[in-house]
Structure 1
Amino acid sequence: MNKKGISTLVLSSLFASVLMVGATDANALTEKKVLKNENGEIHTISGDLGTLRGATAQDRALDALNKVKVDYGIKDVSKEFKVKESHKGELSTSHTKFNRQLNGIPVFGDQLIVHEDNGRLTGVTGKYKALTPTATQATISKTDAEQKAVAKTGFTGLLSVPSNGVLTYFPSGDKAILTYKVNVCYLATDQPGDWTIFVNATDGSIVESYNSAADIVGTGTGVFNDTKKINTVKKGTQYYLEDRTKAMYVNGSTISTYTFNHGSLSQTYVTDADNNFNGEEQKAAVDAHFYAGKVYDFYKNVMGRNSYDNQGATIISGVHYSTGYNNAFWSSSMGQMVYGDGDGTEMVSLSGALDVIGHELTHAVTEYTSGLIYKNQSGALNESWSDALGVAIENKNWLVGEDIWTPAVDGDALRYMDTPSLGKQPEKMSQYVVTTKDNGGVHTNSGIPNKAFYLFATSLGSRVDAAKVWYAASRDYMTQTTDFSGARAATLLACQDLYGQGSTQYTALQAAWTAVEVN
């Protein structure tokens, strides 16, 4: 949002979260980079990592894992990894996914992906942790495990499909628990079940279980009194704003929404007894929860990204922050979104607008892709990329934050991407504002790349198609210190990957940047 306070918060969070090892200079494109999460776990290795040997993509991918096994701490690639699938990407790239196994038994949720460009290794993504198996053989039968799984659900009728148990290692800390992974499905009932249950293969205890079908039953009333269907979970006698229906839940991650209760130090669950979240204090939470799901779906379905870190991280929202707080922000330190209620004059509850939530969660995506430093031109790009993805996710108009901005004034907005000058922003480089305020004018000068995005998207006839180029540029070609000229080059490289250098899209993108005097 366009407040100085939030600029400081986002800047500090971006600095705190940079975990990339290796060069960040845009000219050092071939240097090996090792990226880690907040727990120090490697999730990405990238760079020009050498020539791969092998006649097929699968053979070359195995060679690739051997090249990085020391980084990950893998002892024996051939014993621990099995090819799941390989596919071609843009141009000459290919991507091969491996499932992990121990003693020939799959490890739940553990995968590595090898990225190759015409015989050269360009990267490996995924996490790896040394695990000690609790057992190598089951001591209870598959049938016993299936019976225990069905008993866990409490269902006594006819299953929609027969339950089926498969030996699977379930990661827990540094242990790999030998389990039967059992699916139990019954749909012809008022409370359907589509369970995944992990039964300890040596003692029959339940290690983990979840029911995806039981999570799609809630309703709620939003900030503007509209009714929404929301994904919830029942725990005891109460329903919680916890969405377990997304692909991220394969790793146990959820979309969860809390409330600060108009304070700033602690949060509590948002709960309801009848699964109809329609109380006045629940409205902001309903919108935050619903729209976070929409943003997740956009990134997953359109961009192929699994949550903001692409590793399926839990998305947490906290509403009712402080009193009359005119802002929303992504906190890297807390790993969550924070929403104020607004003062009722300048703003209303900031969780009530999809483009705002898309904007803020894109700050999280940027943190894990380009990591643009929140100052001067790179900071203005950080803001602009969030505006661009926000309007693409909402896919409605070129106004940013119009739903929550100055409720007494019709038709105005926080920013105007088609005409930035309406929001007192420059539209081309000759109007660039040199200032020390707002971290070098990040909310002011973002109008220039915003206008470039608008021109490009309108020439394509699609905000979403333009956003694909913007996202790929941030993911693949932009560094922490990319400036406006670098952003032009990065988006053109991404556009070339997606459409080709001789395409009409590429020509339109060149024209868009030239129109705003960025060369």
Structure 2
Amino acid sequence: MKKSFVTTTVATAAIAATALATIATSGAQAATQSASGAGSDRAGAAIAAARAHGAAFGFDQDQSLTTRSVATDQDGTTHVRLDRTFKGLPVVGGDLVVHTDKAGAWKGVNAASTSVRVASTTPTVAPAAAASTAARSVDFTVSTSRPTLAVYAMDGPARLVWKTQVDGVGAHGEPAGTAVFVDARSGAVVDHWATEINDAGTGNSLYLGTVTLQTTPSGGQWQLVDGTRGGARTEDGNNGSTSSTTGTLFTDADNAWGTGSNSNRQTAAVDADFGVGATWDFYKNTFGRNGIKNDGKGARSLVHVGTNWVNASWSDTCFCMRYGDGDGVSYGPLVSLDVAGHEMTHGVTSATAGLAYRRESGGLNESTSDVMGTMVEFTAATAGDPGDYLIGERFALGNAKPLRYMDQPSKDGASANCWSKSVGTLDVHYSSGVGNHLFYLLSEGSGAKTLNGVSYNSPTCNGSTVTGIGRDAAARIWYRALTTYWTSSTSYAGARAGMLSAATDLYGAGSAQYAATATAWSAVGVN
């Protein structure tokens, strides 16, 4: 018998934490995605067009293309995201987006790299040696290391590399993972970036009051499984390993969850579950996106992870989020609205542009999560946690401060307000300041302002005055750039180009939104 899904009102008091070859398209509004049927036909047409125009992104007879996703605008313009191989080897930084018109004719390409050819695909460095080098390059306890050959084309001349996934446990017990690329002919480390994305310092639930959850009846009880949002489920991590991928599903006899006190283990689960639902609804209602991967499948949330763990994380491997309980001194449980939106957005970014978690693309990855996490908070419009441009403000205890300030990122003591040549050398949580500042200026403008009781005073890097276009328009431009124009190696300069193309698609090249996008990027030093 088909099970029904029950809506319940729950008492709680705590929730909510390139080488760029660009040709602008036009007439784009909402896009739909497909992996079969018409989508397959469009993908085939795009691949044919790409082969015919291979000079635009360095494509030749030794390469092949595979489809990652297909998006079609209302006017028939299609955007096909592709990955490529060279002589059968995957190309790191070889991704691209091909744009075709409704008849399948070429309109342009955004490519992460235009040079992927290597002189030889025969390594001189043994895989075991590459694995050992990769293991020595990380600063956490290593548990596994598995090398595979690939072509690295993110920066400079393409190189044959051993791509090694190094997994383990960090200094504070958190899950740690790094992709390390070792030159297969010289043995030197070429690049590396995190694959387990941990975002420190969020929590302090207990402030949303009564919320509504979607639960599933089973065996005379209810489960914290949301059948209306892809079967998303919330589990108790039982304060076990921060690397754990399984927990105990929360169940309840009367469908009234939590008490509003952190002493009740269900309370944090209510917070996380509501945050996942609010994020799902934001993406669905705003962009028509059906879940993180746009495939209708919900993710898992594990709360009460680790002991005194002041962190929250997203993992593509388990397609899950993990939330720590905080240290109880500076931070409470890490289950706030902006954190849920932030972590789920890492999954969206992975499923779309795949922004590499290093240098400027890594900062843009983190900024994307801050931007969309902030939008989740604003669109949820809860009385207990009204929207703001602060990250992590609700779960800070005592004299602890927000983790990040989008109007003036440097207020945290480490983040960058403005772009410079050295931005890419910063930790990605600090280089994200450039994107965060851009989004605030584009949304609200420069100067002093008070919103929902929070005072802001955003400066510009060039002394200009910026007039905002509103956060909804700014978010639409950002999302379209993410899903349509950005690739794995997109820098802040590439982000600007992609957002101008997106603004053209959505509002027109002569629109106020286009002009404001250009002005705001200049105001953070990206011209």
TM-score, normalising length from structure 2?
Answer: 0.57
Q: Secondary structure at the match of 2:442?
A: helix
1:499 to 492, 500, 507: 507
Q: Secondary structure at the match of 1:474?
A: helix
Q: Secondary structure at the match of 1:292?
A: helix
- Give yes or no for the alignment of 1:263 onto 2:240: yes
Superposed CA deviations along residues 466-498 of structure 1, whole A, max 9, x for unmatched, are 111111101000010101100110111111110
2:487 to 475, 479, 492: 479
Amino acid at match of 2:498: A
User: Which aligned pairs between 1:343-422 and structure 2 lie closer than 5 A?
Assistant: 343-351=327-335, 353-395=336-378, 396-405=387-396, 407-409=397-399, 412-422=401-411
Gaps spanning 5+ residues in structure 1: where? Answer: 1-23, 52-69, 73-86, 96-114, 124-220, 247-252
Superposed CA deviations along residues 60-82 of structure 1, whole A, max 9, x for unmatched, are xxxxxxxxxx989xxxxxxxxxx
**How far is 1:441 from its partner?**
1.5
**How far is 1:360 from its partner?**
0.8
Structure 1 distance, partners of 2:19, 2:104, is 21
Structure 1 distance, partners of 2:490, 2:483, is 12
User: Which aligned pairs between 1:209-288 and structure 2 lie closer than 5 A?
Assistant: 223-224=206-207, 226-246=209-229, 253-264=230-241, 265=244, 266-279=246-259, 280-288=264-272
Structure 2 distance, partners of 1:46, 1:308, is 25
- Give yes or no for the alignment of 1:120 onto 2:128: no
Structure 1 distance, partners of 2:234, 2:337, is 15
**How far is 1:28 from its partner?**
8.9
**How far is 1:222 from its partner?**
6.1
Does the 8 Å CA contact 2:480/2:502 hold for their aligned counterparts? Answer: yes
**How far is 1:233 from its partner?**
0.9
**Residue number in structure 2 paired with 1:449:** 435
**How far is 1:429 from its partner?**
1.9
**Residue number in structure 2 paired with 1:27:** 21
Equivalent residue pairs, number = 328
Q: Secondary structure at the match of 2:300?
A: strand
Q: Secondary structure at the match of 1:402?
A: coil
Amino acid at match of 1:453: F
Superposed CA deviations along residues 354-399 of structure 1, whole A, max 9, x for unmatched, are 1111111100000001000000100000001111111112121111
**Residue number in structure 2 paired with 1:4:** none
Q: Secondary structure at the match of 2:429?
A: coil
**Residue number in structure 2 paired with 1:514:** 522
Alignment CA distance shift 1:25-1:473 (3 Å): same
Amino acid at match of 1:513: W
Superposed CA deviations along residues 223-256 of structure 1, whole A, max 9, x for unmatched, are 337221111111112211011123xxxxxx3111
Larger RCO of the pair (alpha carbons < 8 Å, separation 6+): 2
Amino acid at match of 2:407: D
Structure 1 distance, partners of 2:223, 2:78, is 41
Q: Secondary structure at the match of 1:350?
A: coil
Structure 2 distance, partners of 1:329, 1:88, is 32
Does the 8 Å CA contact 2:391/2:404 hold for their aligned counterparts? Answer: yes
What fraction of aligned residue pairs are identical, expressed as a percent?
40
* Higher-Rg member (1/2): 1
Q: Secondary structure at the match of 2:287?
A: coil
Superposed CA deviations along residues 95-152 of structure 1, whole A, max 9, x for unmatched, are 9xxxxxxxxxxxxxxxxxxx962422689xxxxxxxxxxxxxxxxxxxxxxxxxxxxx
Alignment CA distance shift 1:122-1:366 (3 Å): farther
TM-score, normalising length from structure 1?
Answer: 0.58
Does the 8 Å CA contact 1:495/1:501 hold for their aligned counterparts? Answer: yes
Alignment CA distance shift 1:348-1:369 (3 Å): same
**Residue number in structure 2 paired with 1:127:** none
**Residue number in structure 2 paired with 1:427:** 417
User: Which aligned pairs between 1:45-444 and structure 2 lie closer than 5 A?
Assistant: 45=43, 48-49=46-47, 89=73, 93=77, 117-120=101-104, 223-224=206-207, 226-246=209-229, 253-264=230-241, 265=244, 266-279=246-259, 280-351=264-335, 353-395=336-378, 396-405=387-396, 407-409=397-399, 412-424=401-413, 425-430=415-420, 432-433=422-423, 435=425, 440-444=426-430
Amino acid at match of 1:341: D
**How far is 1:90 from its partner?**
5.5
Alignment CA distance shift 1:342-1:43 (3 Å): farther
Superposed CA deviations along residues 143-171 of structure 1, whole A, max 9, x for unmatched, are xxxxxxxxxxxxxxxxxxxxxxxxxxxxx
**How far is 1:447 from its partner?**
0.6
Q: Secondary structure at the match of 1:445?
A: helix
Amino acid at match of 1:403: R
**Residue number in structure 2 paired with 1:137:** none
Superposed CA deviations along residues 334-353 of structure 1, whole A, max 9, x for unmatched, are 111111111112321111x1
Structure 2 distance, partners of 1:90, 1:493, is 17
**How far is 1:267 from its partner?**
0.6
Structure 1 distance, partners of 2:328, 2:78, is 52
Alignment CA distance shift 1:477-1:236 (3 Å): same
Structure 1 distance, partners of 2:324, 2:489, is 30
Structure 2 distance, partners of 1:311, 1:416, is 33
